[in-house]
Amino acid sequence: MEISQLGEFGLIKELTGDIQLVNKTTIKGVGDDCAVIESQEGMRTLVTTDLLMEGVHFDLTYVPLKHLGYKAVIVNLSDIYAMNGTPQQITVSLAISKRFTVEDIQELYSGMKLACEKYHVDIVGGDTTSSLTGLGISITAIGQARPEDIVYRNGAKETDLICVSGNLGAAYMGLQLLEREKSVYNQQVSEAQQTGNKKVFDSLRDVQPDFAGKEYLLERQLKPEARKDIIEALNKAGIHPTSMMDISDGLSSELMHICNQSHTGCRIYEERIPLDYLTASMAEEFNMNVSTCALNGGEDYELLFTVPLVDNERISSIDDVKVIGYITQPELGCALITRDGNEFELKSQGWNPLKE
Q: Are 64 and 228 in contact, with CB atoms under 8 Å apart?
A: no
pLDDT of residue 8: 64
Q: What is the pLDDT of residue 7?
A: 67
204, amino acid identity: L
Distance from C-alpha of 353 to C-alpha of 201, rounded to nearest angstrom: 35
Using 70 as the pLDDT threshold, list the residues of the chain that sit under it: 3, 7-9, 12, 15, 19, 30-33, 35, 188-194, 196-207, 349-356
Give me the sheet containing 303-307, strands edge to edge: 243-246, 303-307, 161-165, 321-328, 265-269, 334-337, 343-345
Q: Count of residues for the chain? A: 356
Say if CB 263 and CB 188 are below 8 A apart: no
| Segment 129-177, tens digit of pLDDT | 999 989 999 999 999 999 999 999 999 999 999 999 999 999 999 999 9
Q: What is the DSSP letter of 7?
A: H
H-run or E-run covering 321: strand 321-328
CA 283 to chain centre: 21
Q: What is the DSSP string of 132-147?
A: SSS-EEEEEEEEEE-T
Q: CA-CA distance, 163 to 168, in Å (whole number)?
A: 12
Phi-psi region of 49 (alpha: psi -120 to 50; beta: other; left: phi over 0): beta
pLDDT in tens, 270-279: 999 999 999 9
Tell me the β-bridge partners of 83. none
Name 303's bridge partners: 246
Angle between helix axes 3-16 and 102-119 (nearest 10 degrees) is: 10
3-class secondary-structure state, position 304: strand
Inter-CA distances, 331 with 307, 327, 334, Å:
21, 12, 9
pLDDT of residue 112: 97
Q: Report the C-alpha gap between 355 and 232 in whole angstroms.
A: 36
Superfamily of domain 161-171+219-345: PurM-like C-terminal domain (3.90.650.10)
Alpha-carbon span 2 to 96, nearest angstrom: 12
How do the domains of the chain map onto residue ranges? 3-145, 161-171+219-345, 175-216
Q: Using CB atoms within 10 A of its CB, is residue 17 exposed (0-12), middle (13-18) or buried (19+)?
A: exposed
Fold of 3-145: 60s Ribosomal Protein L30; Chain: A; (3.30.1330)
pLDDT at 3: 67
Q: How far is CA 141 from CA 49, 74, 87, 185, 310, in A?
A: 6, 10, 7, 37, 34
Spell 179-215 as b/e; 16+ CB within 10 A means b.
Answer: eebeeebeeeeeebeeeeeeeeeeeeeeeeeeeeebe
